[in-house]
Amino acid sequence: MLDLTGKNALVTGIANNRSIAWGIAQQLHQAGANLGVTFLPDDKGRFEKKVRELVEPLSPSFYLPCNVQDDEQVKATFAQVGEKWGKLDILIHCLAFAGKDELSGDFSNTTREGFTRSLEISSYSLIDLSSHAKDLMTEGGSILTLTYLGGVRVVPNYNVMGIAKSALEMNVRYLAAELGQKNIRVNAISAGPIRTLASSAVGGILDMIHHVEQVAPLRRTVTQIEVGNTAAFLCSDLASGITGQVIYVDAGYEIMGM
């Protein structure tokens, strides 16, 4: 039976009730995990308020500001996790960003600034967070991130985010190879297209979703909860032999040629 009772899980990337990270948080909680939640701080505290109100029913142990572009804030986040829990068992990385101008039009128009920012937030952040998390995973653990088909195939308008996801997937493999000796597993879920705050910036996202609904073997796309179910499995002892993998949760769309 899937049981995460007594496990401490730090969840990043919850923005609203459409976030895939929210679906993951719900299923981790249902499986018995203790949750800690980070939010992206802003001057007016709007993100914190929204995240607090949303996740309150899950009774998280703490809420922490964590901008992954701020080294000191990342360091402080894990210091507080260590003080609160003593150890960490699960890290959920659901962080990605590209400017709206980078997610439409010609890929060759990608700016140096846009490329660097997207790779830093969407890909490098997994390395950085894992580097801090590994020291708290004293009894082993599970690190999980989110990727998308656009990291291995050309998807219209996904552009620079496809490059970021491709790098992210290689990060998973290199981290899995390094951290396996500490009994820390690192995996990724490649979810089908879902309407989220992040995906809404991708040009033609609704057309993409409708296409999947017509072509995928299950003739539909997937839900945040379905992704959350897979995440809970991958973070549990039931998946103790799985690491360095990209698991597709996309109603089967990835297998189709046309």
The set of catalytic residues is 148, 158
| CB 144 within 8 Å of CB 155 | no
235 Cβ neighbours under 8 A, 6+ residues apart: 4, 7, 9, 28, 33, 89, 90, 92, 142, 144
Q: What is the DSSP letter of 102?
A: G
Helices (H), the chain: 20-30, 46-55, 71-85, 112-119, 125-133, 160-179, 205-215, 224-234
Give the number of other CB atoms < 10 A from CB of residue 86: 10
How many Å apart are CA 124 and CA 184, to the nearest integer?
19
And the tokens for 91? 């890290």
Q: What is the amino acid identity at position 223?
A: T
